[in-house]
Each structure stands twice: as C-alpha cells, then as structure tokens.
Amino acid sequence: MDLKSAIDITRLPSHVAIIMDGNGRWAKQKGFERNVGHQNGVVALSEIVEVASELGIKYLTLYAFSTENWNRPKEEVDALMSLLVETIHKETDRLIENDLRLMAIGDLKSLPDKCHQQLQDTINKTSLNKKTTLVLALSYSSKWEILNAVKAISKDINDGKLDIDNISYEIFSSYLTTASIPDPELLIRTSGEMRISNFLLLQIAYSELYFTDVLWPDFRKEQFYKAIIDFQKRERRFGKTSEQLSNNND
C-alpha cells in the first residue's frame, strides 16, 4: 500500500524535530569525502521540508550543527558553513513561494558573519509566512540554551522585573530559544545512534522518539511517512492509564 495514504492527516504531529545524522558514514560507505555526505544531506533536507509542508506539519526543527560540532576539523566546519550559506541563499525563493517561515535557534552570533547575515536575511524575508515553520538549530545545544535562560532569568530577578515566587515552568520556558514554538511531538534520529546529543532536552520531555538505521542522505519521503505512521500507532498517555484514555475519562 502507498505509505502516504496510511497517514491520518487529522492526527499529524504539529511539530517534528529531526537529528539529521549519518552524512559522514554515508559518504564513507560510497568511498567519498565526508563533505559529499553533507551535500547529499542537503538534498534529503530539501525533500523532507517539502514533504512536511505538503502534509501540513506546522513546525519542523532540524538539528544542523551542534555546539560540539565546532570541535570537528576546521575544513569540515568551514565546508559546512559554506554549504549552509549556499543552501539558504538558494532555497529562499522556494521558501517564499511555498509560504514557509524560517527561524533559527542556537548561538547564532558564533556563526561566521556571512552565515549569520544570510540567515537573518532569509528569516526577515519569510517572517510573515504561515504554512510551515522551519526551525534550524545552529550552533545549538540544550546545555547552552538552559544556561542562557538561567542567566537571563537571574538578571530579570536582579533588576526587579521578575519575582522568584512567580516563576512557573511556562515563565521559565519563555526564556528558552524555543519560546514561541510548541514542544515537538515526534523526535526522529537517523543513522542508528540511540542518543540525543544535547538537543532540545527539555522540549522533548514527552516527545515520541523514533530511531532509524537509515543514514540521513537516504532519509527521504517514504522514510518520513514511515516515521509518521509509527507515531500515529503510539498511545500517548501523559501519565494516565490506557483505560482512562479509552473511556475519555479525565
């Protein structure tokens, strides 16, 4: 059966986050340089953005570069940054045509100027778009994000803008880089690694996790459909019992 038709479009996750992993191994398996893997990773990225938007998924967050990725060899980091500028530049018109909004989370100031400028330019040009929001996590890590949130909250307390007794989780989360973004309902990681690698640690507190051995450049439309179908089979209980859910008994 056609996988797409097995998806219940009335029960789509409104936010899917993806740890796009395995570009290097994909290239190595084929006898190419790692960067060829990254280039093919961009092809997969474009396809998944298009498919997610076509389905009607409201938010798609892609982990593109972690704080820890700065520790890779300089040539690889430089190549990734160039690929980023080039890709965003090339994709801007398509984002606009398809009503996609670009956002970015992470320590964006640490990106090379050219990269930061291109990102900001496309973010501005697409800021009023409504169909799907594409969030790129760049120079992002949860530990960095949480530490920053704690510093900003402490400053507001010191400045008398915030009262400690009034800090709820909602207020705390408004200091995170994802403040305006709902938590992901589905987190996908490709390449067979069973770890989170410092990604959205708080935001995935109740996300459904989906791991696949498929390497990111091979993660295409059909793999994405499979992940959504798997998600739709899960029972999301949020601490309740199965019986409570089937009885609709709050």
- Scanning 1-9, 47-55, 57-65, 232-240 for contacts with ligand IPE by CB under 6 A, the matching segment is 57-65
CB neighbour list of residue 122: distance below 8 Å, 6 or more residues apart: 88, 89, 91, 92, 95, 102
Please indicate whether residue 148 is annotated as part of the active site: no
Distant-in-sequence contacts of 82-89, Cβ < 8 A, 24+ apart: 83/35, 83/38, 83/39, 83/42, 84/115, 84/118, 84/119, 84/138, 85/114, 85/115, 85/118, 87/42, 87/45, 88/118, 88/119, 88/122, 89/118, 89/122
Cβ at position 82, least distance to ligand IPE in Å: 13
Size of the site for ligand IPE (CB under 6 A): 19
Out of 39, 61, 66, 223, point to the residue binding ligand IPE (CB under 6 A): 66
Q: Interacting stretch for ligand IPE, rule CB under 6 A, among 17-25, 147-155, 169-177, 203-211?
A: 17-25
Query: Segment 10-29, which members bind Mg ion (CB under 5 A)?
Result: 21
Tell me whether residue 80 or residue 149 sits nearer to Mg ion (CB atom). 80
Q: Which does 45 bind (CB under 5 to 8 A by kind): ligand IPE, Mg ion, none?
A: none
197 binds ligand IPE (CB under 6 A): yes
The interface partner of residue 69, options being Mg ion, ligand IPE, none and the CB cut-off 5 to 8 Å by kind, is: ligand IPE
Annotated active-site residue 69? The verdict is yes
Residue ranges of alpha helices (H) inside the chain are 23-29, 34-55, 74-97, 113-125, 142-158, 169-173, 221-233, 242-247
* Contact criterion met (CB below 8 Å) for 62 and 106: no
110 lies in the site for ligand IPE, by CB under 6 A: no
User: Under the criterion CB under 5 A, does residue 80 sit at the interface with Mg ion?
Assistant: no
User: Among the candidate windows 3-11, 61-69, 172-180, 206-214, which touches ligand IPE by CB under 6 A?
Assistant: 61-69
Nearest residue (CB) to ligand IPE, 72 versus 116:
72
Q: Are 89 and 125 in contact (CB under 8 A)?
A: no
Active site residues: 21, 69
